[in-house]
């Protein structure tokens, strides 16, 4: 069985992030880091792999510079790295991205054999810090027809036995309340930034990573057809950014260094905000 962890390269949040003339995020090798929340996803996948006796496969989609985040996954113990690299897939929207990732999961499951259980679990970070859209994990689940538990604060694996299949139990806190959810595998989970810290690479895993091959897959390898019909790539995107411009900087603040309490209340009164919450 395999556990798949979805990782993403994002520009460092402290770097000068910007959108290019094509309205897409400018990605450079220099600023590229592993999406912070994905570190917890990676750790969760490694632990799930141990619990299930499964190998961990790190999957990313992105430009050549994205290979770095897969290598990082290999350094901490993932057995295989997959980089979906194809210019024809650039500009995919959230739906298209999920379609590509789901296709990669399907391929990995098929190769592993074992029927539908080839991939038991897909783990992702709850959001990418570059786009704020935390919809991709649930879209991947919908593509696969698997149950999804997003925003997990804890993930527990119950290995299967003769009486029942393997399952994942997730606790989470959403606007719907505090929940404990259970799903039989295969399933998709996304994790929050509180889940777990990523382990430090060991000498063995570092050594193994050096020998590991990073597998590159194209749209054709995944049986996908970029364009309107296939729903992947820029031409297949249903949601397209048509305008992008940096916002003007905010005006400098009014700074008060004395009698702060009085200044605050005067300011609220002047803006008509004393009764705002009434």
Partner 1 sequence: MSAVVAAAHGEVPGDLARLAARLGDVHTVTPDGTSAQAATAIVTLAREVGADVVLLPVSRWASEVGALVAHALRAGIVADAHTARRTPDGVSADKRELGGTWDVTCDVRGAAVVLAAPVADDGEVPDVVAHEVAVPDAAAVGRDVEVLARTEHERDGVALADAAAVVAGGRGLAGDLEPVRALADALGAAVGATRDIVEEDWIGHEAMVGQTGTMIAPRLYIGAGISGAPHHMLGMRAAEVIVAVNTDPDAPLMQTADLAIVGDAGEILTRAAELVRARRG
Residues numbered 27 to 56 that lie near partner 1 (CB under 8 A) are none
Of 83 and 151, the one with the shorter C-beta distance to partner 1 is: 151
Q: Does 138 bind partner 1 (CB under 8 A)?
A: yes
Rg (alpha carbons) of the chain, rounded to whole number: 22
Among 113, 145, 161, 213, binds partner 1 (CB under 8 A): 145
Q: How many of the other CB atoms lie within 10 Å of CB of 126?
A: 22
Site residues for partner 1, 218-237, by CB under 8 A, read 237
Of 44 and 150, the one with the shorter C-beta distance to partner 1 is: 150
Specify the residue for token string 């009164």: 269
Which residue stretch of 69-77, 81-89, 106-114, 166-174 sits at the interface with partner 1 (rule: CB under 8 A)? Answer: 166-174
Asked whether the beta carbons of 46 and 195 are under 8 A apart, the reply is no
Smallest gap from residue 53 Cβ to partner 1 (A): 23
Q: Does 206 bind partner 1 (CB under 8 A)?
A: no
List 188's β-bridge partners, or say none: 122, 148
Q: Does 95 bind partner 1 (CB under 8 A)?
A: yes
Q: Using CB under 8 A as the criterion, what x/- string covers residues 52-91 for binding partner 1? A: ----------------------------------------
At 219, is the secondary structure helix, strand, or coil?
coil
CA separation for the pair 25, 36 (Å, rounded):
17
State phi, psi for 107 to the nearest 5 degrees: -65, -45
Site residues for partner 1, 258-277, by CB under 8 A, read 260-265, 267-269, 271, 273-277
Among 28, 110, 133, 202, binds partner 1 (CB under 8 A): 133
CA separation for the pair 223, 234 (Å, rounded):
17
Q: How many of the other CB atoms lie within 10 Å of CB of 51?
A: 17
Asked whether the beta carbons of 37 and 193 are under 8 A apart, the reply is yes
Among 35, 79, 92, 150, binds partner 1 (CB under 8 A): 150
Which residue stretch of 38-46, 51-59, 65-73, 188-196 sits at the interface with partner 1 (rule: CB under 8 A)? Answer: 188-196
Among 12, 112, 193, 225, binds partner 1 (CB under 8 A): 193
Among 177, 197, 203, 213, binds partner 1 (CB under 8 A): 177
Q: Does 147 bind partner 1 (CB under 8 A)?
A: yes
Task: Retrieve residue 69's tokens.
Answer: 């985040």
C-alpha distance from residue 189 to each of 128, 198, 233 (Å): 15, 17, 25
How big is the chain, counted in residues?
Answer: 278
CA separation for the pair 166, 163 (Å, rounded):
10
Of 113 and 249, the one with the shorter C-beta distance to partner 1 is: 249
Among 176, 197, 203, 211, binds partner 1 (CB under 8 A): 176
How many degrees, rounded to 5, is the angle at CA 51 between CA 45 and CA 56?
35
Among 104, 107, 129, 224, binds partner 1 (CB under 8 A): 129
């Amino acid at each position: 069985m395999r556990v798949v962890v979805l990782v993403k390269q994002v520009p460092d949040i402290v770097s000068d992030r910007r959108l290019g003339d094509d309205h897409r995020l400018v990605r450079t090798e220099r600023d590229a880091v592993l999406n912070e929340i994905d570190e917890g996803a990676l750790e969760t996948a490694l632990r799930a792999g141990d619990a299930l006796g499964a190998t961990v496969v790190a999957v990313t989609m992105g430009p050549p510079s994205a290979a770095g985040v897969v290598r990082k996954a290999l350094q901490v113990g993932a057995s295989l790295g997959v980089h979906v690299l194809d210019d024809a897939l650039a500009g995919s929207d959230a739906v298209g991205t999920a379609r590509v990732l789901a296709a990669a999961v399907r391929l990995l499951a098929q190769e592993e054999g074992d029927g539908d259980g080839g991939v038991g679990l897909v783990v992702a970070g709850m959001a990418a810090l570059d786009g704020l859209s935390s919809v991709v994990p649930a879209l991947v689940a919908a593509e696969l027809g698997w149950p999804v538990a997003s925003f997990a604060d804890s993930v527990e694996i119950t290995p299967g036995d003769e009486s029942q299949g393997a399952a994942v139990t997730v606790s989470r806190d959403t606007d719907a309340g505090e929940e404990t959810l259970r799903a039989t595998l295969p399933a998709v989970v996304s994790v929050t930034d509180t889940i777990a810290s990523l382990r430090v690479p060991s000498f063995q895993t570092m050594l193994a990573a050096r020998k590991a091959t990073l597998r590159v897959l194209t749209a054709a390898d995944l049986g996908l057809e970029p364009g309107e019909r296939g729903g992947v790539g820029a031409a297949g995107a249903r949601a397209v950014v048509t305008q992008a411009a940096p916002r003007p900087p905010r005006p400098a603040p009014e700074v008060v260094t004395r009698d702060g309490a009085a200044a605050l209340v005067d300011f609220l009164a002047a803006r008509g905000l004393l009764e705002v919450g009434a």
